[in-house]
Chains A and B, each alone.
Chain A
Amino acid sequence: MSNDWPLYEVFIRSRSGLEHRHVGSLHAADAAMAVEHARDVYTRRQEGVSIWVVRSSDIVASDPNDADALFEPARDKVYRHPTFYAIPDEVKNL
C-alpha cells in the first residue's frame, strides 16, 4: 500500500523561534495525510510544535557530481571567514 503512495520530506520545528529542520521522510496519499503521518511518526516524543511536509519530487537538489565545481572553490577562500578581527574582551556573545 505505502509503495503506491508518494514520498514526502518532513520538517519539524522543535520550539517556537527555531527553524524547521529536516527530520526524515514518509509515504502518504496526499499532503494532509502526510502531516498526520508526520505527527504520528516524528513527534511522538514531543519533538515539535510545527510540521512542514513537501513532496520529495518537488525538491530541487544539487548534483553530487557537481560537488567539485560547486564547493571546492570555497576551500581556499579563508578570508571569507570573519576570523581576522580582534574581538574586544567586553563582547561576550559573538
Chain B
Amino acid sequence: MSAGSQSIRPGSVQSAHCRYLLRLGDTSLVLGQRLAEWVGHSPALEEDLGLANLSLDLIGQARLLLSYAGELEGQGRGEDALAFLRDAPAFLNLTLAEQPNGDFGRTIVRQCLLDAWQLEVYAALADSTDARLASIAAKAIKETRYHWRFSSGWLVRLGDGTEESHRRVQEPLNELWRFTTELFAADEVEDEVAAAGIAPRLTELQPRWSARIDEVLQEATLVRPAAIPYQWHGKRGVHTEHLGHMLAEMQHLQRTYPGAQW
C-alpha cells in the first residue's frame, strides 16, 4: 500500500455514483478504524480478536469501495490516497460511524445500529445494475451477517443481563439514536443512484431495519428511544468533532512520511 501524493485537481466534480461509493466506503473505513482502537483493550482476549476481525472485514470493504470510487473520480487517487490524504470535510461517512467507542456497551450499540443498516444496504446492492458494486456487496453481506450476529448477540446479553449492563447499553442507545435519522435520509446523491438502479431507495430499507432493531431491542429488554428530527450530515462532509481527532491518529504515518510502505 502506498499513498503517493496525488491531489485532486481544482474544479473537479465527483459524480453521484462516486460520492455514493465514498459514503459506503468511508462508513466502513471509519467504523473499522474505531473498532481497531479496541485492539489490546477489549474486556477479554476473545473479544479483542472478535472486534479485530470485524475491523479487518470493514477495512477490506473500504479498500474495495474506495479503490472503485477513486477510479470513477478519475483524478488518480487510489484507496490509500483517499483514506490517508483527505481531511475530515472530504469524508462522507455516516455520522454514527465516527462516534467514539466509549465502553464496550456503547461500542456494541453503535455496531448493532450500523450492522443492521449495512445488512439491508448490502442485500439490496447485490442486485445493483452496477455489477462491480454488486460483487463487492455480495462479499460484504456474508461478513456483515456475522457482524450482526456478534453485535446483536452482545446487545441481548448486556441488555438482558444485570442492572448495570442494562444501563450501560440503554444509555448509549438513547444517546446514539439521534444519529440514526441520517441512515435513511436520502438526498440528491442517493436519489440519483437509486434512479439509475445502482442503489436501493433508502426509504424502502427503513421498515426492515426498524423491524430488525425492534426485535433485538425487545429481546434485550431495551426501550427504543423516540425519534429525533434533527439530522446530521456526515455523508455530506459535515462531521462531529470526533472525526478529526480519529483521522489525526489514522493518518499520522502517511502525513508524516508520505508514501511510507512496509
> Residues of A with Cβ closer than 8 Å to B?
1-2, 5, 26-29, 32-33, 36-37, 39-41, 44
Contacts and interface: CB of A to CB of B under 8 A. Distances in A.
Contacts of B149: 36
B237 interface: no
Interface stretch (B20-28, B45-53, B112-120, B218-226): B45-53
A44 B53 contact: yes
Contacts of A44: 49, 53
A11 B32 CA distance: 30
Contacts of B46: 2, 26-28, 37, 40-41
B44 interface: yes
Contacts, number: 34
Nearest to A4: B44
B167 interface: no
A33 B156 CA distance: 12
B11 interface: no
B153 A2 contact: no
Interface string B230-253: 000000000000000000000000
6 contacts: A27-B46, A32-B153, A36-B149, A37-B50, A40-B50, A44-B53
Nearest to B44: A2
B87 to A, nearest CB: 34
Given A33-B157, A40-B53, 13 more contacts: A2-B45, A2-B46, A26-B46, A27-B44, A29-B157, A32-B153, A36-B150, A37-B46, A37-B49, A40-B49, A40-B50, A41-B49, A44-B53
